[in-house]
Amino acid sequence: MLHAFGFSASYFPLLIFGSILEVLDTRVIQLTDSIKFSTTPPLLLALCEEINDLTNMIRRLSSFYGPTILICFVFFFNDLIWCCYYSVILLFDEGPYNKIVLYQAGAVYHLFAFFLMSKACEDHYRRVEAFHWEMYDLMCSSELLCKHEKLKLFASLGKTVEFSCCGFFTIGYPMVTSIIAAAATYLVILIQFSLQNE
């Protein structure tokens, strides 16, 4: 019972991080939509300043939650490997199928958590990038906007945020494939050692 509580409680920081990120992403979408109606430099500068503020806020959010996400991911990775290991061992030993299914469901559950976290971060990358592309398209279509130095500087910089877990790895879709590859490697090693001991 205690393990089940720890299992579910470890998702709370990720849920909080994802919820805050979703609220900030909603604002990024609103800013992207309002670019089309902001054709004067002062209005565009206000949008650029707000997107910079949001980007800085998301950077602070990422650095604040980085250690917590790292701890959660280590826990999930460890649990993923053990779920896979026990399901394979039970298959070899012809164990009860309900336990095999339970362990396999746990493994899928953890992979799904990794995927959802990666998807939230990748969606943020795409939304901020969409803002920058809208800004670039608008500036290319207007000679007045192209002459504005601050807008040219903002369009050329294109600030984005990379979500990382204390600098160990970046959260995104490549992380999911790396986790699957690492889990498969550890699983093969664990199975080889357990077969040698028999």
Residue 3 has pLDDT above 70, yes or no: no
Query: What does pTM read for this prediction?
Result: 0.78
Mean predicted lDDT score pLDDT of the chain:
80
**Helix, strand, coil share of the chain (percent; to 5):** 85, 0, 15
The answer to whether residue 142 is domain-embedded is yes
Counting DSSP H helices and E strands in the chain, the numbers are 7, 0
The answer to whether residue 5 is domain-embedded is no
Domain count, the chain: 1
DSSP for 158-193, please give it: ------BSTTS-B-SHHHHHHHHHHHHHHHHHHHHH
Residue 156 has pLDDT above 70, yes or no: no
The answer to whether residue 198 is domain-embedded is no
CB atoms within 10 A of CB 187: 19
Tell me the residue range of the domain where 49 lies. 11-190
The answer to whether residue 3 is domain-embedded is no
If residue 95 lies in a helix (H) or strand (E), which one and from where to where? none
CATH number for the domain that contains residue 41: 1.20.58
Instruction: Render pLDDT for 48-81 as a digit per residue (tens, 0 to 9).
Output: 888 888 888 888 888 888 888 888 888 888 888 8
